[in-house]
Amino acid sequence: MLLHIGIDDTDSAKHGMCTTYVGAVLSRKLAKVGEVEEAKLVRLNPNIKYKTRGNAAVALALRTKKVAEAKRITRRVVEELACFDDNNTNPGVVFYEGEPPEDFSRFYRRALHEVVGIDQAESLLRERGAEYVKYKLGRGIVGALAAIGAELSRATYEYIAYRARERWGTPRNLDTASVLAMDALTFPLTFNNYDYAERRVLIAPHTPCPVLFGIRGTSAQVVQEAAELVLPGEDIALSMVYKTNQGTDAHLQEVSRIAEVRPFSSVILAGEVASAPRVIQGGHVFFELCDEHGEQITCAAYEPTKGFRNVVRALIPGDRVRVYGGVDESRTINLEKLEVLRLKRERLANPRCTRCGRRMESAGKGRGYRCKRCRTVAKEKVVEELERNIQEKLYSVPPIAMRHLAKPLVLCI
Ligand code: ATP
């Protein structure tokens, strides 16, 4: 019998913990009653307010003859490890025996693109005869069900090393040179290990959670081999390789017009730059995008996107672009990628005086242009070439600002 186990919402921003750790501990314990055939780390809608950090849920597929025992072990592990003291932690566990139905996959896709209610998860689970456990509000059943339903046709892998319990909350001491050497040897089969512009190691979190480091890549083997090249500075108490939807852009949905853009979704949308980008206090950059129906929407590159803002600042009205990003409550698109489709290369300008080189002024409506000083005249405006310092290509925020789900540029080709 194949038993699917989904888990979510076990961690707390304050006290630490991590649902992937619960999954790793559980899969060790479940090895006594069966074989874990698949372990998934599934990121869900990055725009929802309930998430602690990266909106991750975990699902394990266990081949077992001891279903009741496996369920007991699962409940015990979640009850031992989840941070019940945190008001925002509302764990949920889902069990499903056999091949998950197609509407579980549909639920996964909805959980990537929309905000779904606990009641919606619950009614689907009941309808399909699945067993589930809600702790406190039990919001975790949303992610737990979605993780079981995630088909991961496009997948990457993550190796995660966990710390011994007594080290949780203390500074991590990874050897940076070993991370750079690992990256040099394995990129682009592994990705987002280091941000070279910001000189920051990205594989280790800065939270009190049990994760020591995680390496993302295109196969289970490559992330495991890459991990062996890292000098961790402390013992690795436990490790796990997950199959995941990270780095796949699974959250993005193409929309054909601005009217279709919904709050809390993530979209790909083509249009024309309608306003000169403006920079506000804090270094955030905004511009308006317009579609052929005349509708407009604000796009934003916030300060943490660092050098990417220079690309956005270099846009001018009339440029044709495709934007990729998450939509907030007020329908602003938080840019993750920007494809420059067509740069505006020319503009109409007043002619220059043939004698002094200064730009001429209008001589009045329909009366052409003149240079007051030299008394030269011209009839019409002239076409002037614009010097542009960006190219017609796909740009991304730097690794340091990348969302878990965002596909890095190296994987986009
Ligand atoms: P961790 O890093 O441990 O996974 P997290 O950032 O993933 O933390 P959670 O603690 O899992 O955050 O909290 C997210 C909560 O939101 C969970 O209860 C999950 O079931 C729920 N959830 C996930 N996706 C959606 C969605 N699309 N709509 C509504 N609720 C969701």
Give the Cα separation of 401 and 413 in Å (integer). Answer: 20
In whole angstroms, give the CA distance from residue 155 to residue 411.
Answer: 11
What atom of ligand 1 comes closest to residue 114's alpha carbon?
27
Q: How far is the CA of 143 from the centre of ligand 1 (A)?
A: 6
> What is the rounded distance in angstroms from the CA atom of residue 225 to the CA atom of residue 218?
12
**3-class DSSP assignment, residue 345:** coil
Atom of ligand 1 minimally distant from the CA of 44: 24
The pLDDT tens digits for 32-43 are 999 999 999 999
DSSP calls for 311-328: HHHT--TT-EEEEEEEE-
* Nearest CA owner, ligand 1 atom 5: 55
| Model pLDDT, residue 16 | 81
**Å from CA of 201 to ligand 1 middle:** 26
pLDDT in single tens digits along all 413 residues of the chain: 999 999 999 998 887 899 999 999 999 999 999 999 999 999 999 999 887 789 999 999 999 999 999 999 999 999 999 999 888 899 999 999 999 999 999 999 999 999 999 999 999 999 999 999 999 999 999 999 999 999 999 999 999 999 999 999 999 999 999 999 999 999 999 999 999 999 999 999 999 999 999 999 999 999 999 999 999 999 999 999 999 999 999 999 999 999 999 999 999 999 999 999 999 999 999 999 999 999 999 999 999 999 999 999 999 999 999 999 999 999 999 999 999 999 999 999 999 999 999 999 999 999 999 999 999 999 999 999 999 999 999 999 999 999 999 999 999 97
Q: How big, in percent rounded to 5, are the helix, strand and coil portions of the chain?
A: 25, 30, 45
What number of CA atoms fall less than 13 Å from residue 310's CA on the CB side?
A: 7
210 lines ligand 1 (CB under 6 A): no
Most ligand 1 atoms within 8 A of CB, residue of 52, 83, 113 to mutate = 52
Strand, helix or coil for residue 158: strand
**Contact of 340 with 272, CB cutoff 8 Å:** no
Taking the centre of ligand 1 as the mean of its atom positions, its distance from the CA of residue 77, in whole angstroms, is 19
Structure tokens given for 133: 């456990």
Residue bearing the CA closest to ligand 1, atom 7: 55
Q: Which helix (H) or strand (E) holds 41?
A: strand 34-43
Beta strands in 303-368 (DSSP E): 320-327, 333-342, 346-349, 361-362
pTM (predicted TM-score): 0.94
Q: Residue 64 forms beta bridges with which residues?
A: 34
| Domains annotated on the chain, with CATH | 2-149 (3.30.70.2200), 157-244 (3.90.600.20), 253-345+388-407 (2.40.50.1010), 346-385 (no CATH)
pLDDT digits (tens, 9 = 90+) for 379-392: 999 999 999 999 99
| CA–CA gap between residue 288 and residue 60 (Å, rounded) | 44
* Side chain identity at residue 269, one-letter code: L
Q: How far is the CA of 15 from the centre of ligand 1 (A)?
A: 16
Tokens 């220059």, residue located:
352
Cα-based distances in Å from 217 to 19, 151, 188, 318: 20, 18, 8, 38
Distance CA 111, CA 146 (A): 7
CA distance 73 to 123: 25
What's the confidence (pLDDT) of residue 153?
A: 93
Largest CA distance in the chain: 97
